[in-house]
Structure 1
Amino acid sequence: MKKRQSVFAFILLAAFVLGGVAYLAGSFSGGDKTAETPAAGPAPVFVKEGEVSFLRKGETYKKIDVEIAENEAERNKGLMFRPYLPDSVGMLFIFEQPDTHSFWMKNTSIPLDIIYVGPDKTIVSIAENTRPYSEASIPPNGIVQYVVEVNAGFTKNNNIQSGDAISF
């Protein structure tokens, strides 16, 4: 009888230890971060829908290919779940009405530069090197109607500044 109780106690102890090890392994490897887990299925692939030119004093000095987010569903998804974005592309968000359209980085795994553009297509402000997966609001420094998202560092590398303009 004592031998049976000892075996049972050993099995319980082993299960407890293995469960604890599995729990700790999950904690140290990042655990369950559902906000950072990409959606099931293949990652979205870039599809060119237009071009954005960056202008200074009326002259184009940089041009990129863009996908266009022009309705609420497309704007809400943005560049979420993309593991990679080539340096020569971005996303253009078009809003029906000018406002203080804030952005966030939820489910976005790559750092971005967010270029806020007013109704006159002049760059109002730039949020550089935004933090992936952050749900913090990233507001513009004024009223905007368009937003261009590009890889982090793009604006600095191409000398894009507030006061410049875009065309598309």
Structure 2
Amino acid sequence: MKKFFVFLLVATTLVSCKESASNKTVKTADIKFTKEGELTLSKADGTTIATLNIEFAETNYERETGLMYRKSMDNNQAMLFIFDSSLPRSFYMRNTYIPLDIIYLDEHKKIVSIQENAQPLNEEGLPSEKPAMYVLEVNAGLTAKWSLEAGDRMTFQKL
């Protein structure tokens, strides 16, 4: 009889835990863009191409997370990844829902290569053609619209 009551108690507990867990809805907050600086892209001759509001990714966590989980980004917004040194870089689109152009820049802030139209959620590596110290992510299609190419430059300032 005692075993029956223990069994009944355990079964009731398991069922009630399962029911209460399945009734919960997990809500996630949208990640909002936070303007931390301004960035200007220029042709090699100094002609301004575009000026963008940017967020910085400077810590390991920020660089690992990047634009993951975001649903959208305005065309005048971008994320600038800053590394300590110039090395060959490769980015991928894990947990990234926005199609992006990925722009690799050297330590002199000069574009060394561009990966256009990186597809959302694609985990294939998208490498730089040369060592890069900075990586700029913008909405897909903007590099073509701006006729951006290797040799063009950027400047930026933090707020």
Q: TM-score, normalised by structure 1?
A: 0.75
Q: Report the Cα offset of residue 59 of structure 1.
A: 3.1
**Per the alignment, in what secondary structure is the counterpart of residue 51 of structure 1?**
strand
1:84 to 56, 72, 90: 72
**Per the alignment, in what secondary structure is the counterpart of residue 129 of structure 1?**
strand
Report which of the two has the higher share of strand.
2
Question: Percent of aligned positions with the same letter in both sequences?
Answer: 42
Deviation string, structure 1 residues 68-91 (Cα, Å, up to 9, x no partner): 001110000000001011011000
Q: Distance in 2 between matches of 1:70 and 1:60?
A: 25
Report the equivalent of 2:16.
none
Superposed, 1:27-42 pairs within 5 Å as 41-42=28-29
Report the equivalent of 2:19.
none
Q: Distance in 1 between matches of 2:120 and 2:133?
A: 24
**Per the alignment, in what secondary structure is the counterpart of residue 63 of structure 2?**
helix
1:155 is the counterpart of 2:143: yes
Q: Distance in 2 between matches of 1:148 and 1:83?
A: 18
Report the equivalent of 2:49.
61
TM superposition outliers: structure 1 runs of 4+ over 2 Å: 58-61
Query: How many residues are treated as equivalent by the alignment?
Result: 130
Report which of the two has the higher share of helix.
1
1:96 to 59, 75, 84: 84
Q: Distance in 2 between matches of 1:53 and 1:161?
A: 14
Q: Distance in 1 between matches of 2:146 and 2:49?
A: 9
Unaligned runs of 5+ in 2: 1-25
Report the equivalent of 1:73.
61
**Per the alignment, in what secondary structure is the counterpart of residue 54 of structure 2?**
strand
Unaligned runs of 5+ in 1: 1-38
User: Amino acid of the residue matched to residue 134 of structure 1?
Assistant: N
Q: Report the Cα offset of residue 40 of structure 1.
A: 5.3
User: Amino acid of the residue matched to residue 63 of structure 1?
Assistant: T
